[in-house]
Structures are given as C-alpha cells and as structure tokens.
C-alpha cells in the first residue's frame, strides 16, 4: 500500500471482486500498517467455512502464497512482530526467489493459536500478454537480467509518461493535465529539464548525474582514442531501484486494467 497509488482503492477492490477475490486488505509490511487486521479477518473466514468443523484441532495453519518478491515472508515477520513481539523468522530480500522451499510452520499468534507456512513465489505458467509480463518484471517478480534492465527502464518511462507522472512544472508537455499533484517524480529526482519519452536520453542524463560513466577505448584510423560513455545499464538499474523504493512516487501499474472512468 505504500508503493501503489491507491487513490482508486474502490475501483481496485471492485475489479478484484469481479475476479473472485474478496476480503482484500492493503498492508505495508515494512511499517506494519494494517497488518493487525489480518489475523481477525482470517480467523473469521476460517471459522465460518465448513472445512473448519473437520476435527477438534483448534489451531489454525495457513499458507501464504503469491508471486515472487511480493512480500509474503515480510508479512509473516510483520505478524510475528505485531502479535508475539518476536523477531524475524523467515528471510526476506529485494529480489525474487529468496524463499526457495515450503518452510516449516511459523507461529504468528497465541490466541487464536495460528501458524503460517511460508512458500516460494509462484508465477502463472503462461503470462497473458507481454505488457502483463513487463508489469510483473517491473515489480521484481523475475530477475532483471532475464528481461533486460534497459528494456524495463524503457517500459517504466513509458508508464510514468502515459500516466503523466513526470512531476515538473517545466515538464515538456505542459498542455497535458498534471496527474501527480506536484510530487517529486522522475524529472525532479534526476534534475531533468522536462519530461522526455526517449529512454536513451533519460538514461544518459541519469548516468551523468550519478557519475556513472565509463571510459572506453575506441580504435580510430589515427590510433586509440579514449571516450567517456554513459553507463546505461547502471543508470537503468538506478532508475528501477529508485522506482521500487517509492522515491518516484506511488504508481498504479494496472491503471489501464480498471474499468470505468478514472478520477483525474
């Protein structure tokens, strides 16, 4: 909830309900926001399901499932912090594939006695479209080098521009209504002159600003010449990392998927 733009919260919930997903709780597992709502909601759901009456065992054992790198292990650790005042029980990390096997059950609550099973992230065997794949990759569900950091940076720039989240009064397209409320977006963050839809130009500026340049020897007819080139891969990685840390502001990648008119 701290990284996604939830201004269309109701539309998101309606969309998920149409897909058969109910009881949505938006959480921030780093700052433990809304995490306390999870156990009462789960207890209520299990209690009201017919499977609950199978035996006399009162303890609950729940499995946490989801795409890679979405925060499954962080949720388990956050629940332990909140309900048991205990530290980390499962490893978390900023790339997919941190949890590699179904782990032994971890206690997250005393009353009701609840255990959670951490599981490795899973993706659907077939991703419906290239764009869905790019969105998933942008969220770090696959390793960046499998898609290519520069291609991902290009898609990120396209998304930010399409949603008009460039964030500067000097932005190159002043005739478009602003959607970002003046937040610090990529134009300010990297000190650009304005919005730009050419990823090479943006990455060049990012590289120069970060001092990520490399000296390359170029063979010419009159001998070797050393030229300074922007380090495009390093700039692309920085652009992606900055976006994933929320420093370019909250973004809702699935904005185009929501039905009905959007608020400006």
Beta strands 60-64; 106-109: pairing state: unpaired
Query: DSSP states of 52-80 as a string?
Result: GGGSS---EEEEE--STTSSHHHHHHHHH
Site for ligand GTP in 95-134 (CB under 6 A): 96-99, 120-121
77 part of the interface to Mg ion, by CB under 5 A: no
11, 38, 60, 69: which one binds ligand GTP (CB under 6 A):
69
Which is nearer to ligand GTP, 31 or 162 (by Cβ)? Answer: 31
16, 30, 113, 170: which one binds ligand GTP (CB under 6 A):
30
Which listed option, ligand GTP, Mg ion, none, makes contact with residue 159 (CB within 5 to 8 Å by class)? none
Cα separation values, 225 from 207, 217, 234, Å: 21, 6, 23
Site for ligand GTP in 230-259 (CB under 6 A): 246
> Do residues 203 and 239 touch, judged by C-beta distance below 8 A?
yes
Cα separation values, 48 from 42, 43, 109, 116, 139, Å: 10, 9, 19, 19, 34
Peptide bond into 2 cis (omega under 30): no
* Structure tokens that stand for 62 in this block: 């729940």
- The phi-psi region of residue 82 (left if phi > 0; otherwise alpha if psi is between -120 and 50; otherwise beta) is alpha
> How many C-beta atoms lie closer than 10 Å to residue 17's C-beta?
12
73 part of the interface to Mg ion, by CB under 5 A: yes
User: What is the nearest approach in angstroms of Mg ion to the Cβ of residue 162?
Assistant: 31
11, 38, 62, 73: which one binds ligand GTP (CB under 6 A):
73
Burial of 59 (0-12, 13-18, 19+ CB in 10 A): exposed
Which is nearer to ligand GTP, 52 or 91 (by Cβ)? Answer: 91
User: What is the nearest approach in angstroms of ligand GTP to the Cβ of residue 248?
Assistant: 13
Which listed option, ligand GTP, Mg ion, none, makes contact with residue 74 (CB within 5 to 8 Å by class)? ligand GTP
- Applying CB under 6 A, which part among 54-62, 63-71, 149-157, 193-201 lies near ligand GTP? 63-71
Residue 58's contacts (CB-CB under 8 Å, 6 or more residues apart) are 112, 113
Which listed option, ligand GTP, Mg ion, none, makes contact with residue 40 (CB within 5 to 8 Å by class)? none
2 part of the interface to ligand GTP, by CB under 6 A: yes
Which is nearer to ligand GTP, 28 or 107 (by Cβ)? Answer: 28
User: What is the nearest approach in angstroms of ligand GTP to the Cβ of residue 35?
Assistant: 9
CA distance 121 to 140: 11
99, 141, 161, 168: which one binds Mg ion (CB under 5 A):
99
In the complex, which residues of this chain contact Mg ion (CB under 5 A)? Answer: 72-73, 98-99
- Which positions lie near ligand GTP, rule CB under 6 A? 2-3, 27-30, 66, 68-74, 92-94, 96-99, 120-121, 246
């Amino acid at each position: 909830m701290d990284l996604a733009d939830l201004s269309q919260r109701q539309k998101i919930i309606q969309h998920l309900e149409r897909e058969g997903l109910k009881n949505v709780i938006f959480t921030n597992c780093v700052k433990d926001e809304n995490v306390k709502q999870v156990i009462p909601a789960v207890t209520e759901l299990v209690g009201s399901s017919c499977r609950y009456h199978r035996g006399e065992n009162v303890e609950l054992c729940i499995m946490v499932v989801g795409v890679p790198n979405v925060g499954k292990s962080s949720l388990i650790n956050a629940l332990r912090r909140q309900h048991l005042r205990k530290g980390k029980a499962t490893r978390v990390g900023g790339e997919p594939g941190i949890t590699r096997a179904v782990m032994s059950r971890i206690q997250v609550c005393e009353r009701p006695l609840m255990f959670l099973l951490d599981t490795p992230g899973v993706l659907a065997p077939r991703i419906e479209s290239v764009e869905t794949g790019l969105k998933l990759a942008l969220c770090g569900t696959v390793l960046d080098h499998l898609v290519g950091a520069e291609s991902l940076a290009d898609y990120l720039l396209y998304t930010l521009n399409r949603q008009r989240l460039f964030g500067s009064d000097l932005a190159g397209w002043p005739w478009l209504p602003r959607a970002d409320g003046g937040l610090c977006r990529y134009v300010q963050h990297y000190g650009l002159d304005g919005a730009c839809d050419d990823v090479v130009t943006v990455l060049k500026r990012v590289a120069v600003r970060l001092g990520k340049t490399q000296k390359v020897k170029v063979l010419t007819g009159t001998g070797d010449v050393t030229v300074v080139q922007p380090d495009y891969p390093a700039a692309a990685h920085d652009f992606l990392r900055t976006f994933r840390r929320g420093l370019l502001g909250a973004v809702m990648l699935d904005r185009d998927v929501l039905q009905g008119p959007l608020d400006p």
